[in-house]
């Protein structure tokens, strides 16, 4: 399997974003989005997904965090799609349950080539630091639309919003890692009866 590395630069009138990923990394991260809690969540993806991740984002935070959070999700999705390539030999599916104290989340992913997001999360607070919790959905919607994956995100329990969110991002990282892992029994094979993903 070739090196699964990609860099995407996406510049709009609202945000200027550069994302670099190495899907076969060791979990190293260099994160500068201007939203501290978003950086913390991206670090969870890198660490638990064993993805080396560099994100530099400048956005219109004087308005709010919406464009920055959504566009980071979009650009990360584009980078993952480019890095994974034709998907030959990958496991394709991934899932993870992650607890953090009283909180528990489940994430299931299919690198299907079709975008779809089902998310059932009732955050107990509207803000976590400078991150509006509504924007967690926007982040994942941007990601699935551009990575072309099906993603199910469920927070099963929790009363601390920080814990709820952190379990989601940790579980996402671990599920993505599982889906991206090469299947030694299917080297060079597209994991679909269609023959293409």
Distance (Å, whole) CA 7 – CA 17: 11
- DSSP SS3 for 137: helix
- Domain map (residue ranges) of the chain: 5-180
Q: What is the pLDDT of residue 2?
A: 81
Distance (Å, whole) CA 129 – CA 52: 25
- Please, where are the H alpha helices in 60-160? 66-84, 134-147
In angstroms, how far is CA 36 from the centroid of its own chain?
A: 17
Which residues touch 65 (CB under 8 Å, ≥6 apart)?
Answer: 35, 38, 59, 130, 131, 132, 135
**Which stretch of DSSP H or E encloses residue 156?**
strand 150-157
Distance (Å, whole) CA 27 – CA 54: 11
Distance (Å, whole) CA 104 – CA 155: 6
Predicted confidence pLDDT, tens digits, the chain (197 residues): 689 999 999 999 999 999 999 999 999 999 999 999 999 999 999 999 999 999 999 999 999 999 999 999 999 999 999 999 999 999 999 999 999 999 999 999 999 999 999 999 999 999 999 999 999 999 999 999 999 999 999 999 999 999 999 999 999 999 999 999 999 999 999 999 999 99
Distance (Å, whole) CA 168 – CA 158: 11
Specify the CATH number of the domain 5-180: 3.30.230.40
Is the CB of residue 80 less than 8 Å from the CB of residue 21? yes
Nearest one of 118, 112, 98, 120 to 45, comparing CA atoms: 98
pTM (two decimals): 0.98
Which residues touch 127 (CB under 8 Å, ≥6 apart)?
Answer: 133
């Amino acid at each position: 399997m070739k090196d699964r590395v990609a860099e995407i630069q996406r510049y709009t009138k609202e945000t200027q974003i550069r994302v670099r990923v190495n899907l076969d990394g060791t979990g190293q991260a260099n994160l500068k989005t201007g939203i501290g809690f978003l950086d913390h969540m991206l670090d969870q993806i890198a660490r638990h997904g064993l993805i080396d991740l560099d994100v530099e984002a400048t956005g219109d935070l004087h308005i709010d965090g919406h464009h920055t959070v959504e566009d980071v999700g979009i650009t990360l999705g584009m980078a993952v799609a480019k890095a994974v390539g034709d998907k030959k030999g990958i496991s394709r599916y991934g899932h993870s349950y992650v607890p953090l104290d009283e909180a528990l989340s489940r994430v299931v992913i299919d690198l299907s080539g079709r975008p779809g997001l089902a998310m059932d999360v009732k955050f107990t607070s509207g803000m976590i630091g400078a991150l509006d919790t509504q924007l967690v959905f926007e982040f994942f919607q941007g990601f699935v639309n551009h990575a072309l994956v099906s993603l199910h995100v469920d927070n099963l329990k929790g009363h601390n919003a920080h814990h709820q969110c952190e379990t989601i991002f940790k579980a996402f990282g671990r599920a993505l890692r599982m889906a991206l892992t090469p299947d030694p029994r299917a080297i060079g094979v597209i994991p679909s009866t269609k023959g293409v993903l």
